[in-house]
Amino acid sequence: MRKPFRGGRAVVILLAALLALPMAFGNSSALGAPDDPNQIAVDYVRAHAAELGLTPDDIAEIRVTDSYQSDHNRVTHVYLRQQRGGIDVAQANMSLNIDREGNVLFVGNRFVNLPPPSGTVALTAPEAAVDAADELGLETTKDIRVLESPRGVQRKTEVSSGGVSTRTIPAKLVYQLVDGDLRLAWNVSIEEVDGDHYWDASVDAETGELLAKVDLVDHDDVQATGAVIAPAGRAADATIPDAAARNPNKASYRVFELPFESPLDGARTLVKDPATKSASPFGWHDIDGDKGAEYTVTRGNNVHAYTDHDNDGVPDPGSDPDGGPELEFDFPIDFTQHPHTYSDAAVTNLFYWNNIIHDVFYEYGFTEEAGNFQVNNYGNDGLGGDDVRGEAQDGGGLNNANFSTPVDGLRPRMQMYLWQFARPNVVTIDPPSSAAGTYEASGAAFGPEFSTEGVSGDIVLVDDGVGTTTDACEPLVGFPSGSIALLDRGICNFTVKVKNAQDAGATAALVANNIAGNPGAMGGADPTITIPSAMVSLDAGNTIKAGLPATGNIARDPEVGVMRDGDLDAGIITHEYGHGISNRLTAGPSTVGCLGNQEQMGEGWSDYLAVALTGRSTDDRESRGVGNYALFNESRNSQGIRPTAYSTNTSINPSTYDDVKTLAVPHGVGYVWATMLWEMHWNLIDEHGFKNDVYKRWTTGGNNLAIQLVTDGMKFQPCRPGFVDGRDAILAADQALTDGDNQCLIWSAFAKRGLGFSADQGSSESRSDGTEAFDTHPDCAP
């Protein structure tokens, strides 16, 4: 039985570390918005300075960076920044959330006590950009020069890229708080050409010393792993918008349709006219707001999808497939072949999912004003010109994905990669050898891959005549040409061993590991190596040696030996896009770098949005994972890329708040946060049921409500949040939306995982100083 929550809005303010009740500072307008929310916010800060731990001098200069209203709850979000002498203090932000009657509901405070400023401007903007590049390990290949005359007291300008950035480099003066000193600095943004990093960096304006840096690229690099594939059957509850909500512009896409996540869920379907009227009023291929598509390729207002096989940040020629005048994007896939053979289908799936996420989260408040990703904002507020660059099958790596999020008005980039099974090869030893059987084997970063037919022949243990004679670190002695070389790991590089085997006439090389456990991929580079190679475990190697003489075969496994494409895994796509959502919503769309602290929950929000968006009525609390297709796992309910699957069963997922102290940053920290959100998700479903139509704003459906509260919480919370900040922001969002009807359900979820009423996060800059507690709010206690 749910108890009524008696704390009301006063409890939310208390949780925000304010001691006063909400106060009305202005009148409500006829449209349900306060007359001047910006003034209300500034007046509130000045009236409550002492309770916020600030002095009058700390708040003498305040700048409004962003201000907008969320339609569904009529809350106006105002974002402020401290200044000194008209110059911003970096990361000194405050979020105030004001209801339609002018009440301040929740404050996320990151204003600081400001010491006297220090430093002078000795460096020009180009000199500062050169120093920043040098401090970041980047080598300029061109002169950096001023492209725009400096403007205002912050000397805002643009300088040339210097060959280290994909775009011109914005520069401005800021104050950077460093070890209690307020130092004058040049702030620059450098997006590396390969897209691997997008730096927001500040260097001392006098000396060029690097004072602070934040990477705006969120990486999700995962070591290759896997299991046998077992595709599930197609579910019957595919989620599509109501016919009245769909855009009548004709277009069709053969894709893994929402809520299908990947090939693990079944076959692709031809989806017709999926764009929604509210989010994409002119369809997915328009950019001018007039009837008719401007593009017939996978490009439009929300995303431009293409391949970037050479990792130069530029679309491969002709890689954005053309659907023709009828916008029919229907391309074949052969999963037995390398993903490059079906790149048109992969790019189409990436285009579809980026648009789906855009349209769905538009309904939950990720709109133009909130900083979403669109070329044309169609007359709404916010800055346009920032559709997603969706780079499929990126050549910059394997087993990875990332998303970079600059400020509103600058284009983000999603880089999707191919995924490789850790042991893609199979070694077969023929009878009558005592080693007869099959063995898993890893591959190599050099030389050709094995074919599915493989290489057959005599398997011969090598002899190089020196030291450990079987390590092939020296030219081989008496090796029978045309045989498969069996050799031991150790002493020298893999490339040396395989090249020596090749020079002796080997048709392939089989390395036996010298340490226990599964073998990893062999690294190195040597373009002169023309034979394939593989490595088996220490145990397998010993068994094969004991079974010599023998014949056998080494081949690529026809199932797991073929790379998989992350562009076909909507869990990964949604996870990456989720980074864009959380970065734009936290502290407002004009602010970057607010999710670079140790206890920030970016990976957790992204994981949660991935499993929530692709939720189905047949799901249960027990097990969901992210990235299962890319990881060669059995089903969407497998473990995925985290330490465990997401589950409310503590015997499956035992994580609690204290685990952030020992798990990796940021992914382990995010795993704990997403576990807490998963608990809340299911508490709300138990109370309100499950709704198949994920596009609908919440009226019913616990899954819809959970997504809404998580999204709203990002808007409410402060810059550089910790777990308690995030929890309290969600509680405040529920107060604003439902008048607090779900407070006890939310408290129960967080308390179960150690983020209860008495929990203390300490500093959000540290993951090791928090204190977990399992008590609920007193008003919710039995």
Instruction: Give the separation between CA 99 and CA 28, rounded to whole angstroms.
Output: 9
Confidence of residue 74 (pLDDT cuts 50, 70, 90): very high
The predicted-structure confidence for 360-389, as pLDDT tens digits, reads as follows: 999 999 999 999 999 999 999 999 999 999
Query: Domain for residue 2, yes or no?
Result: no
Burial class (CB in 10 A: 0-12, 13-18, 19+), 595: buried
Burial class (CB in 10 A: 0-12, 13-18, 19+), 427: buried
Do 660 and 758 lie in one domain? The reply is yes
Q: Helix, strand or coil for residue 109?
A: strand
Do 192 and 66 lie in one domain? The reply is no
Confidence of residue 162 (pLDDT cuts 50, 70, 90): very high
Q: Helix, strand or coil for residue 499?
A: helix
pLDDT of residue 605: 98
Q: Looking at the predicted structure, is the pLDDT value of residue 136 above 60?
A: yes
Query: Domain for residue 17, yes or no?
Result: yes
The β-bridge partners of 146 are 159
Mean pLDDT on 472-482: 97
The predicted-structure confidence for 301-320, as pLDDT tens digits, reads as follows: 999 999 999 989 999 999 99
Mean pLDDT on 533-544: 97
Q: Which residue type sits at 186?
A: W
Mean pLDDT on 436-455: 93
Q: Looking at the predicted structure, is the pLDDT value of residue 777 above 90?
A: yes
Q: Looking at the predicted structure, is the pLDDT value of residue 234 above 80?
A: no
CATH number at residue 209: 3.10.450
Instruction: Give the separation between CA 157 and CA 148, rounded to whole angstroms.
Output: 5
Confidence of residue 504 (pLDDT cuts 50, 70, 90): very high
| Nearest of 518, 477, 474 to residue 500 by alpha carbon | 474
277, 245 contact by CB (below 8 A)? yes
CATH number at residue 273: 3.10.170.10
Residue 390 CB contacts under 8 Å (≥ 6 apart), including other chains: 298, 303, 304, 305, 306, 347, 350, 351, 354, 414, 416
Q: What is the DSSP letter of 322?
A: B
Instruction: Give the separation between CA 520 and CA 547, rounded to whole angstroms.
Output: 24
Q: Looking at the predicted structure, is the pLDDT value of residue 670 above 70?
A: yes
Q: Looking at the predicted structure, is the pLDDT value of residue 7 above 60?
A: no
Confidence of residue 5 (pLDDT cuts 50, 70, 90): very low
Do 651 and 751 lie in one domain? The reply is yes
pLDDT of residue 528: 96
Confidence of residue 23 (pLDDT cuts 50, 70, 90): very low
What's the Cα-to-Cα distance from 215 to each of 92, 132, 190, 632, rounded to whole Å?
18, 13, 10, 30
Q: Looking at the predicted structure, is the pLDDT value of residue 212 above 50?
A: yes
**Pure H helices in 248-382:** 343-363
Do 256 and 360 lie in one domain? The reply is yes
Q: Looking at the predicted structure, is the pLDDT value of residue 404 above 70?
A: yes
* Tally of domains in the chain: 5
HSE toward the beta carbon, residue 606, CA cutoff 13 A: 34
pLDDT of residue 198: 95
What's the domain range around 518?
425-556
pLDDT of residue 26: 43
Instruction: Give the separation between CA 705 and CA 699, rounded to whole angstroms.
Output: 8
Full 3-state SS string of 46-78: HHCCCCCCCCCCCCCCEEEEEEEEECCCCEEEE
Structure tokens at 21: 């009740």
Confidence of residue 236 (pLDDT cuts 50, 70, 90): very low
The predicted-structure confidence for 733-750, as pLDDT tens digits, reads as follows: 999 999 999 999 999 999
Least confident of 154-158, 209-213, 394-398, 484-488: 394-398
Do 375 and 440 lie in one domain? The reply is no
Instruction: Give the separation between CA 496 and CA 522, rounded to whole angstroms.
Output: 12
The number of angstroms, rounded, from the C-alpha of 56 to the middle of its chain's C-alpha atoms is 39
Do 409 and 432 lie in one domain? The reply is no
What's the Cα-to-Cα distance from 563 to each of 319, 422, 574, rounded to whole Å?
19, 10, 21
pLDDT of residue 241: 58
Q: Looking at the predicted structure, is the pLDDT value of residue 22 above 50?
A: no
Residue 430 sits at φ, ψ, to 5 deg, of -80, 150
User: Which of 405, 420, 435 is at the close of a domain?
Assistant: 420
Do 531 and 463 lie in one domain? The reply is yes
Do 190 and 267 lie in one domain? The reply is no
Query: Domain for residue 292, yes or no?
Result: yes
Query: Domain for residue 114, yes or no?
Result: no
Confidence of residue 16 (pLDDT cuts 50, 70, 90): very low
Number of neighbouring beta carbons within 10 Å of residue 268: 21
| Nearest of 505, 514, 423 to residue 462 by alpha carbon | 505
**Among 576, 599, 603, 679, which one carries the catalytic annotation?**
576
pLDDT of residue 396: 85
How much of the chain exceeds pLDDT 90, in percent?
A: 84
The predicted-structure confidence for 700-709, as pLDDT tens digits, reads as follows: 899 999 999 9
Instruction: Give the separation between CA 718 and CA 720, rounded to whole angstroms.
Output: 6
Query: Domain for residue 451, yes or no?
Result: yes
Do 351 and 315 lie in one domain? The reply is yes
Question: Long-range contacts for 762-768 (Cβ within 8 Å, ≥24 apart)?
Answer: 762/722, 763/599, 763/722, 764/597, 764/598, 764/599, 764/600, 764/720, 764/721, 764/722, 764/725, 765/597, 765/598, 765/599, 765/720, 766/598, 766/599, 767/598, 767/599, 767/660, 767/661, 767/665, 767/669, 768/661
Q: Looking at the predicted structure, is the pLDDT value of residue 238 above 90?
A: no
Strand 75-84 to strand 87-98: parallel, antiparallel, or no bridges (unpaired)? antiparallel
**CA-based torsion, 391, 393, 394, 400: positive or negative:** positive
pLDDT of residue 244: 55
Do 126 and 98 lie in one domain? The reply is no
pTM of the complete model: 0.87
Instruction: Give the separation between CA 40 and CA 33, rounded to whole angstroms.
Output: 12
625, 646 contact by CB (below 8 A)? yes
Residue 135 sits at φ, ψ, to 5 deg, of -65, -30
Confidence of residue 33 (pLDDT cuts 50, 70, 90): low
Query: Domain for residue 658, yes or no?
Result: yes
Mean pLDDT on 191-206: 94
**721: cis peptide before it, omega within 30°?**
no
Residue bearing tokens 């994981």: 607
Per-state percent for the chain, helix, strand, coil, to nearest 5:
25, 20, 55
Query: Domain for residue 585, yes or no?
Result: no
pLDDT of residue 8: 33
| Nearest of 444, 457, 255, 453 to residue 356 by alpha carbon | 255
688, 355 contact by CB (below 8 A)? no
pLDDT of residue 32: 54
CATH number at residue 514: 3.50.30.30
What's the Cα-to-Cα distance from 226 to each of 451, 564, 599, 629, 751, rounded to whole Å?
20, 11, 30, 9, 34
pLDDT of residue 89: 97
Query: Domain for residue 22, yes or no?
Result: yes
Q: Looking at the predicted structure, is the pLDDT value of residue 565 above 80?
A: yes
Do 677 and 537 lie in one domain? The reply is no
Do 416 and 429 lie in one domain? The reply is no
pLDDT of residue 246: 56
576 a catalytic residue: yes
Structure tokens at 64: 């409004």
Give Rg (Cα) of the chain: 28
Q: Looking at the predicted structure, is the pLDDT value of residue 158 above 70?
A: yes
Q: Looking at the predicted structure, is the pLDDT value of residue 111 above 70?
A: yes
